[in-house]
Each structure stands twice: as structure tokens, then as C-alpha cells.
Structure 1
């Protein structure tokens, strides 16, 4: 909806001339509640360290959303934190992900108002959101996936509940500017106590996992995390397993990875090597490649996991062939657990 000049000014905004220039460095804060994890009672300060996932992206976990925000941005997140928590029906601890754009943006004129030491603009930077949107689409799924894996265990899985998405900027004078603020709503579980050291270690481990979690590899896992439909959940986790298997297999080659698994007799070394190499390179289907990855790369995958995979594949194949499978019978939990294990989630 496009508002008239009168309506915008009625909201308290004043139109500034084109000669008035403000340079603003924009960023975005993504706030989540963490379900399934709490700080250990012995923790004096219930806040993690700041972990840099890239040059322009940092994260922190805290009992207080404002303490996490001050750690990342040097500013509070909510004027009244208790009221904000009540409105969101949220529970701590909270995860904050902060991404800052590469270059500052210039605002000439436009509608602005100042209140409580902040500058507010009305839809003044529509073109400046491109980099933020691309980051949310391309990079954020890998971040949430990596954090889910490293803060979960196979038996105690955590879940991130999206609470709020806040886009804001900082002027050269250090004043915070808000141009757009979009909010969302949060929707019996057992929470696992974690120490500060364990949380910091998990955040660092998540950073090391990010390089393998490309958008194509992890998008199905990411979409399944907050998907209420069990059929879509199952297919999402299985499609992740499928994509991750193919991606891992394609990173392997016979001489460097597979050759050592064969005990080739010296007396027929050349012909036997060609024979086994052909078996390896001719592995085209998912089951073959899953077995190769389990043999060569995935050192934590055991016999039961391979059997579980084969059972999951049978269910997926039945669905692909149009057979009816009751949603209540879909092995969603098993599919998610196998996906977590492939990515290195702790056993307990």
C-alpha cells in the first residue's frame, strides 16, 4: 500500500530536501529463541562469546536478548525486554545473528523523524536491501543448519524458533537508523543444560561446518526444520541426505580415497586396480554412493545407520511411485537423526 504525503507526515515524518545527505551502514539482526537448550545453573553470566562466521557476520547466544544485541551491535534490541518477551511468547535463551552490508548507503532527503536518539525513515532505502536478501537466501540456511547440528545431540535436538527480523543502519555519527522493521510470531520439550564453554565450543564448530553447507546442499534440511507438515518434513530431510551423499561422493576419487579400501595382490596389481576403479567410478545410484561415503569418509556411520538409510529410501521410493503411506508412519525422526549424524552431531 502506497501512503500519501499527508498520511506519512501524519505519522510524524518530515520531508527533507535532496541536498541533505546521510550515509548509513545497514545490517540485519535475526533473533531466535532456542528450544531444547538452557544455560547451566552454575553459569554466572549467561552469555556466550561473539563468534565471527565471516568478515561481516557475527553470532551470540544469551539469556537476555538485549545483552546479546549489545555484544554484537553496541545497542539494545528491545526498549522493554520483558514486554517484548511477553508479546512474542518467547523463552530464553536467545540466538542473535548479525549481518552487516559491505558498503554504506547514501540517503538524500526523504521522510525522517527523530525519537529517543534514533532516526526513523519511511521506506527510504528500498534498493539497499538486495545484499541482505541475498544473504538471507544464500547463506542463512547454512548458518541455521550448522548451529542446529552443533548445538544438538542425536538424542537431545534443539530447535530455533524465529522471533524477529530487524533491519537497521548506523550513521557516521554512530546514530542508529531504522528504515524497516518486520516482526514474526513464535509458535512439550526437554531442555538440555549447557555450560558457557560447551556453547562457545559448539558455535566455533558450527563455523567450521559452514564451508560444506552450500545453499544447494542444505536448503532441504533448513526448510524441514520449521515445516509443520510431516510429509514435507520427511521429504526435506531425505532430500538433504540425498544431496549431501551425492555432493560428498563427487568430492572423492579412486586413487586418493577408495584405493586403500581394496587389498589388491601385487601379482595382478594393474588389472585389479582397473577393475576396482571401474566399480567405484560406475557407482551412479544413491545407495551405491551412500555405501562408498560410509566406507571412506563418514567414520561415525555404523551398520545400523546404513540399514536405517535403506529403510528410509524404501519409504521415499514408495512415495515416488505413488503408493500411499500414512503420515503417522513416516519415519521423520529417524530421517532427521541420520541427517544430523551425517553432519557430525554428537551422539549424546
Structure 2
């Protein structure tokens, strides 16, 4: 059985794309995954809004015997129109990343099912989570690439998530499980060059072991806007992981410069002695200093001050001191992590 998975994210802080980027599409992973920018969610594949509207009608029991005017098709059309109106009121003027993945899964036959003109409605288990997991890495890579590439991004909100199955006769199959469960920013556009780098950066940030965890935590910090503590800890942990996982390569580069520099290079035995003595003595601040010095140069000193101030807050939190959750340096941590992930990507020929 074929499936189509569509998920959309509002890029908080990013204005709707201009004409050059509206609908601009990248194909990833042998065209199994497509991603595009849009300022209008009404352009989503039709089954996304159709599935959401049917789910809403199910919750109000319109499809379960409650008296209402019009045919099921007419009520569905009205619900889709209302859904789009509500959505536009909340999100008008912002940019969205839409990701679409297609593939095949073994046939299944959910019950009970009801044949309705144009589609099939079923209540019961369906392998939706399996499909989402299948494409999780690609989606996280895309989000991380945008988080790294767009300095104006200040939040990521999932606004649509739809898995539609297609039977052999071509009819879409919608499956449902009946279960239940303040900040300011200036909106700016994603730059054309940033969008052009997305496929390359997404592949690396979703697969490179020295970067994947840090990139995912950066994305997570943007998605945790309702929980300031989790947002801060996600950004800080991503920064700490990035420093620890990449420090050795930058230390080696620094020592190599000392041993072969143009002015009085150090003997190799001295370099090896420094490496041996310092191997277990670098503090986290020292490691960041080495990395920032190699990547940022002129910006290293102010970045070091910011890094140490963020770490001080983190230490106070871990030691049980009272810290105001409304004043956590989350944005500063996000900016540092984003900056050095991007510098690492660009300076290492990745």
C-alpha cells in the first residue's frame, strides 16, 4: 500500500518567502522526500486539510448520527473552509517549511471502515508512527539546516502532520484513533543563498556523528517555546555536545600550527608533551576557547565571554540555586550554537 506523509512547520521569526522562493523545492534521499517553502498553507496537498476536517467532524459526531444540514460532502467542504480561515488568522504573513515523503508499506485492512464518495474512513490502528519514524532523521536534518542557516529564526511550530494511505483502487484511506490528550521577535525572510544550502546542510546535520545530536538539540530548543527551561537546556546541551565532540580536531589543528608555523615553530616533542599533559586538563571553557579561536578569530573573545556567562547560569541551575526561568539566556545559547555549527560546516568543507 502506498502512503504520503506531509508535515508542515511554521518558522517563527521568518516572513513569508518572496516570489523567488515561494514553492522552491528541494528533493532529498533519492526523491523520497521533498521540501519546500511557502507563505500559504492553503497550497498543501488537498488530503492534509481534508483529513484534519474529517477528524474535526468526527470529534463533533457529525459522522456518527448527529443531525446536521447538508450531505457529508457539503459538511466536509464547509469544515475545510472554516479550518483554513482559522489557520490564516493565526499564521498569516509567516513562512512555513513543508516536507512530503512518499513510500510503500505492507497492505493492512483497518476495521471498522466506511466507504464515502472519494475516500475511505477507518477507525483503528494504522502504522502512522512507523512512517513518521522512517522519515524522522530527514526532517530533523532539514529543520537543523534551517535553524543553522537562518539567523532570524526564533521558533519552530508544527502546524500540520498528516499520513494518508492510498488503496490499490486509488482511493485515499484516512485512519483515525480516538484518543485525547510570550516572547517578541521581528520577522525577516530566509535568504536565497540559505535556501540553496539546505539540501547539503540537511544531509550532513542528519548523519554526521559529530554534529547530529547538537543540531537536533538546537532544533528542539526552538520547538520548546512553551517551556523556557527545556528550551534553554536543549540549546546548552547542544552547545556542550558540539564542543566536546569536535574539540580534538581543533586542538590538533592548533598544535599543528604551533609545530609548523612560519615564526619559530615548536619542536614536535614539545607539541606532543603539551598534548599529553593537557589531555585530561581542558575545562569546557578551554575547549570552547580553542574552537572559537580557530573558527571565529576576531569574534572569539566576545563569544568566550558569552559562553562563560551561559555556563554560569547552567551551573547555578544544576547546583540548585534559584534562577528566574523568564530570564534564561536561551537566545544567546541558540545563537552561539547556530553560529559555530555554521562556521564548522563552512570551514571544514562539509
Check if 1:50 corresponds to 2:30: no
**Structure-1-length-normalised TM-score:** 0.72
Instruction: Give the Å deviation of 1:135.
Output: 3.9
Show the counterpart of 2:101: 99
Show the counterpart of 1:20: none
Instruction: Give the Å deviation of 1:245.
Output: 0.9
Instruction: Give the Å deviation of 1:312.
Output: 1.1
CA distance in 1, matches of 2:282, 2:101: 40
Go from structure 1 to structure 2 and tell me whether the alpha carbon gap of 1:331 and 1:94 turns closer, same or farther (over 3 Å shift). closer
CA distance in 2, matches of 1:136, 1:310: 37
Which of 265, 277, 289 aligns to 2:275? It is: 277
Please, which runs of 5 or more residues in structure 1 have no aligned partner?
A: 1-23
CA deviation string 1:79-127 (max 9, x = no partner): 56653233343334332122334x42212474333334223332253xx
Show the counterpart of 2:334: 336
Go from structure 1 to structure 2 and tell me whether the alpha carbon gap of 1:215 and 1:132 turns closer, same or farther (over 3 Å shift). farther
Show the counterpart of 1:10: none
SS of 2:130 mapped into structure 1? helix
Check if 1:168 corresponds to 2:164: yes
Show the counterpart of 1:29: 6
Please, which runs of 5 or more residues in structure 2 have no aligned partner?
A: 51-76, 344-350
Show the counterpart of 2:55: none
Go from structure 1 to structure 2 and tell me whether the alpha carbon gap of 1:290 and 1:258 turns closer, same or farther (over 3 Å shift). same
Which of 198, 201, 212 aligns to 2:196? It is: 201
Check if 1:120 corresponds to 2:96: no
Show the counterpart of 2:217: 220
CA RMSD of aligned residues (A): 3.7
Instruction: Give the Å deviation of 1:168.
Output: 1.1
CA distance in 1, matches of 2:320, 2:139: 34
Show the counterpart of 1:259: 255
1:165–1:181 Cα contact (<8 Å) kept: no
Instruction: Give the Å deviation of 1:191.
Output: 1.7
CA distance in 1, matches of 2:101, 2:166: 13
Which of 43, 46, 49 aligns to 1:78? It is: 49
Give the structure with the larger helix fraction.
2
Give the structure with the larger strand fraction.
1
CA deviation string 1:117-143 (max 9, x = no partner): 223332253xx3353243466554443
CA distance in 2, matches of 1:303, 1:315: 19
Show the counterpart of 1:11: none
CA distance in 2, matches of 1:212, 1:300: 28
CA distance in 2, matches of 1:184, 1:50: 35
**Structure-2-length-normalised TM-score:** 0.72
Show the counterpart of 2:39: 63
Go from structure 1 to structure 2 and tell me whether the alpha carbon gap of 1:114 and 1:202 turns closer, same or farther (over 3 Å shift). farther
Which of 241, 245, 248 aligns to 1:247? It is: 245
Show the counterpart of 1:145: 144
